[in-house]
């Protein structure tokens, strides 16, 4: 979507002479000299500039982004701070990689947000190219496009919605609800593929959910608000997967036994928060996740995604 912004001028109906004074040819009193047309233009320009800064400031905040023509249905996330001032900065989560990164080049001018990354957008090991993101706010939504510089075929359209402010807080009055079994131990009932039309690559064998390499991601049909999760997983050598939360966050699962805690290691909130210790076991051994998830991160209803590791999820407490 393209939006045309027209910069207008005001043509007055007052009888001004070429000198900018009233049409009777007389000189205005000293206290009226500021009514001259040049001053009015300066004042109008100043007011328009203030309006533009206010409009640019509308970009500030956190945005949940849906990519309209991206086949893998990956979620993007954007945070902007300082728009409308020279100190604008931002953070972004998006392809490739899925990391949360500070935006190295970002501007907001005359109602257009622009930010740029230099990455290997085509494939691993390829030369870095510029990926340019442009967006405007239309009816409260962030409407934009992405394109790798010089590659029109890479163009993607996206829509962003503001991430709501979460007011829920643990006040000691919350009580556990009933236990809900996400996996029945027999089949994939209550689970579906994240990407329609792609081979599923999952099966149930001996009461365990198993997958092959490059399988589709599984999504639970049930959604949850605040919850306590109990999950068990066992991975093979070199495996890399995770547990997706709210369409934005991932609790990492990876073969990193014996390594130091890291924001990309097992138990990390991927690229954001590292665990206090790496408690993962050797490949082939069962691990257990038990954690309490409260809605302090996003108001999006919870959806679980089980990624490319053989993963067994026993139950969730809502």
Examine the domain organization and report whether 146 and 235 are in the same domain.
no
Q: Under DSSP, is residue 43 helix (H, G, I), strand (E, B) or coil?
A: helix
The domain boundary, picked from 117, 136, 162, lies at 162
Q: What is the per-residue pLDDT for 255?
A: 93
pLDDT of residue 161: 95
Kindly report the length of the chain.
318
* Residues 212 and 141 both lie in one domain: no
Q: What is the predicted pLDDT for the residue at 291?
A: 64
Q: Structural domain tally of the chain?
A: 2
What domain range is 212 assigned to? 179-317
What local confidence, expressed as pLDDT, does residue 293 receive? 62
pLDDT at residue 99, rounded to an integer: 82
- Can you give the pLDDT at residue 244? 80
Has residue 248 been placed in a domain? yes
Is residue 158, in this structure, part of any structural domain at all? yes
Q: Does 78 share its domain with 183?
A: no
| Other C-beta atoms lying within 10 Å of the C-beta of residue 306 | 28
Q: What's the CA gap between 318 and 311, in Å, rounded?
A: 20
**DSSP tag of 39:** H
| pLDDT of res. 311 | 40
4 domain residue, yes or no: no
Whether 184 and 253 map to the same domain: the answer is yes
Could you tell me if residue 171 is inside a domain? Answer: no
User: Of the candidates 162, 187, 219, which is a domain's last residue?
Assistant: 162
Q: Say which CATH number the domain at 212 has.
A: 2.60.120.560
Q: Is the pTM of this model over 0.85?
A: no
Rg, C-alpha atoms of the chain: 27
pLDDT score at 196: 83
Q: What is the CATH number of the domain that holds 149?
A: 2.40.128.20
User: 107 and 231 share a domain?
Assistant: no
Q: Where are the beta strands (DSSP E) in 18-125?
A: 61-67, 75-81, 89-93, 100-102, 105-109, 112-119
Among 258, 200, 209, 261, CA closest to 231: 209
Q: Residue 26 falls within a domain, yes or no?
A: no
Residue 48 domain-assigned (yes or no): no
Q: What is the pLDDT along the chain (318 residues), one digit of tens a residue?
A: 322 222 222 233 322 223 332 334 444 444 444 345 444 444 444 333 444 545 899 999 999 999 987 777 777 899 999 999 999 999 999 866 678 899 999 999 999 999 999 988 877 778 889 999 999 999 999 999 999 999 999 999 999 999 887 777 767 777 888 888 989 999 999 898 888 888 899 999 999 999 888 888 888 888 887 777 788 889 899 998 888 877 777 888 899 999 998 888 888 888 888 888 888 889 999 888 776 665 544 333 333 333 333 343 443 443
Contact criterion met (CB below 8 Å) for 158 and 67: yes
Q: Are residues 243 and 157 in the same domain?
A: no
Domain boundary among 162, 197, 212: 162
CA distances from 39 to 7, 17, 20, 28 (A): 18, 15, 10, 15
| pLDDT of amino acid 223 | 84
- Burial bucket for residue 144 (CB in 10 Å: 0-12, 13-18, 19+): buried
DSSP state of 166: P
Rounded-to-integer distance, Cα 4 and Cα 156, Å: 20
pLDDT at 96: 65
In a domain, 53, yes or no: no
The verdict on 139 and 265 lying in the same domain is no
User: Do 313 and 184 fall within a single domain?
Assistant: yes
Query: What SS3 state is found at 245?
Result: strand
Both 205 and 302 in a single domain? yes
In this structure, the answer to whether residues 311 and 211 fall within a common structural domain is yes
């Amino acid at each position: 979507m393209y939006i045309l912004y027209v910069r207008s001028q005001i043509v007055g109906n007052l009888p001004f002479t070429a000198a900018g004074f009233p049409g009777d040819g007389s000189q205005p009193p000293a206290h009226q000299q500021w009514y001259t047309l040049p001053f009015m233009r300066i004042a109008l320009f100043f007011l328009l500039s203030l309006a533009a800064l206010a409009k640019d400031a509308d970009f500030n905040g956190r945005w949940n982004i849906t990519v309209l023509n991206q086949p893998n249905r990956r979620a993007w996330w954007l945070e902007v701070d300082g728009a409308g001032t020279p100190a604008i900065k931002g953070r972004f989560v998006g392809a490739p990689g899925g990391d949360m990164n500070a935006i190295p080049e970002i501007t907001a001018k005359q109602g257009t947000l622009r930010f740029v990354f230099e990455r290997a957008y085509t494939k691993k090991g390829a030369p870095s190219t510029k990926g340019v993101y442009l967006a405007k706010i239309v009816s409260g939504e962030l409407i934009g496009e992405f394109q790798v510089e010089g590659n029109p075929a890479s163009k993607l359209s996206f829509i962003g919605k503001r991430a709501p402010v979460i007011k829920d807080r643990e006040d000691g009055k919350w009580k556990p609800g009933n236990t809900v079994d996400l996996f029945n131990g027999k089949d994939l009932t209550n689970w579906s593929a994240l990407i329609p039309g792609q081979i599923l690559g999952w099966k149930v064998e001996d009461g365990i959910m198993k997958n092959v390499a490059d399988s589709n991601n599984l999504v639970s049909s049930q959604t949850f608000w605040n919850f306590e999760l109990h999950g068990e997983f066992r991975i093979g050598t070199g495996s890399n997967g995770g547990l997706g939360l709210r369409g934005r966050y991932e609790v990492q699962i990876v073969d990193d036994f014996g390594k130091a805690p890291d924001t990309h290691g097992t138990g990390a909130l991927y690229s954001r928060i590292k665990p206090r210790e790496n408690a993962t076991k050797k490949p082939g051994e069962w691990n257990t996740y038990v954690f309490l998830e409260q809605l302090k991160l996003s108001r999006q209803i919870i959806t679980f995604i089980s990624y490319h590791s053989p993963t067994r999820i026993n139950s969730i407490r809502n």
